[in-house]
Amino acid sequence: MGNIPTTVKHCLSYEQLIRDYPWLKRLLLEEKSIAAHEYPEFVKVVEVGPRDGLQNEKEIVPTGVKIQLIDMLSGTGLPVIEATSFVSSKWVPQMADHTDVLKGIQRAPHVQYPVLTPNMHGFQDAVAAGATEVAVFGSASETFSRKNINCSIEESMLRFEEVISAAKEHQIPVRGYVSCALGCPHEGYIEPSKVAEVAKRLYEMGCYEVSLGDTIGVGTPGSMAKMLRSVMEDVPSSALAVHCHDTYGQALANILIALQMGVCVVDSAVAGLGGCPYAQGSSGNVSTEDVLYMLHGMGIETGVDLAKVIEVGDFICNALCRKTNSRVAQARGRTSGHALL
């Protein structure tokens, strides 16, 4: 004990610590696993570019381009690609071609193509068009719910119950989303307990997975940790996903903390498609390329080929006449590639 500072020697001795805290001896043997962060071995990346991404792009993208985008993404190894949304074309003109898109894509085996279905009408159309997985969108903010889908949170839950009930009959899995999980453009701060309440509702209704969305990207690792702790009291981490927006540059740090807390499903959009409708000109979805770069750099498996995703990003950015939001794509595009990857 010669290297122990004098003050510590005066205050306590190892023997005294062990006497006062018998579990400490066990703990010290396990110290290595506490010190090191534990990360999942595999992370499922849910690609939301074709739906959430394109939905927030100003230019209406032709159906052929959407189909080609999804087909290219299918070839990258991504296990889930959110294909389109069966909302009224009055509300979301970008998704007016939902049926053509769903019928036109070439479905790769072992890849899921969930579609959004805000209500029974949308669900029925989706099934008629061949959907085999659907998603419903709740909100942790009352004001956001009213402004976004024109009803209260409770009313939306009743609508989703119908959809989930019908989905069960069709043996169609349902994914739940909770938006404004870390802040609302109208209400500001959102209580973690509210997020937990909505997540729990969706999970207990029958959603196999609940994706927690930082809709305006204001969250930081602190608020992410707090929110996840609250949600995990009612929903197991294995059924959770994080959907981080990079509007304030915090997305990867927020994803990292979520991984440390046991979340192993991450939503992202190729090329960081989709701006933020609440902060003109700002970025929205985190880029799939940047997420993959981080995960692979940490030794976490995803099954996805990063180089192929970069190619897809190039394709859709050319088609949209816009620059990529992905820093990885920006760096790779301009250099012969740093030797490391």
Interface contacts to another protein, rule CB under 8 A: 1, 3-4, 7-8, 10-12, 14, 17, 20-21, 23-24, 27-28, 31, 34-37, 217, 219-223, 225, 228-229, 246-250, 252-253, 255-257, 260-261, 276, 278-283, 287, 290, 293-294, 296-299, 326-328, 330-331, 333-335, 338-341
The CB-of-25 to another protein minimum distance in angstroms stands at 10
Distance CA 333, CA 194 (A): 43
DSSP 109-152: TT-B--EE--SHHHHHHHHHTT-S-EEEEEES-HHHHHHHHSS-
Please indicate whether residue 276 is annotated as part of the active site.
Answer: yes
Minimum separation from the CB atom of position 95 to another protein (A): 25
Q: Which is nearer to another protein, 114 or 275 (CB)?
A: 275
Shortest distance in whole angstroms from residue 51 CB to another protein:
22
- Between the alpha carbon of residue 112 and those of residues 123, 170, 290, 322, the distances in Å are 17, 16, 22, 28
* Smallest separation (angstroms) from another protein to the CB of 2: 10
* Contact present, 254 and 214 (Cβ < 8 Å): yes
Tokens of 243: 């959907």
Between 100 and 311, CB nearer to another protein: 311
Contact 206, 164 (CB under 8 A): yes
Q: How far is the CB of 303 from another protein (least distance, A)?
A: 18
Residues 7, 233: Cα–Cα separation, whole Å: 40
Residue 63, amino acid: T
Of 244, 276, 317, 321, the active-site residue reads 276
User: Sign of the C-alpha dihedral, residues 3, 8, 11, 13?
Assistant: negative
Q: Residue with structure tokens 């792009």?
A: 57
Which CB sits closer to another protein, 36 or 321? Answer: 36
Which CB sits closer to another protein, 4 or 307? 4
Closest to another protein by CB, 79 vs 333, is: 333
Query: Would you say 268 and 45 are in contact if contact means Cβ atoms under 8 Å apart?
Result: yes
Nearer to another protein, 207 or 242 (CB): 242
> What minimum distance in Å lies between the beta carbon of 232 and another protein?
10
Exposure b/e, 247-279, CB count within 10 A at least 16 = b:
bbebbbebbbbbbebebbbbbbbbbbbbbbebb
For residue 227 the two structure tokens come to 């929110």
Query: Please, which residues have CB within 8 angstroms of residue 21's CB and are 6 or more apart in sequence?
Result: none
Q: Is 197 exposed, middle or buried (0-12, 13-18, 19+ CB in 10 A)?
A: middle
Catalytic residues: 276
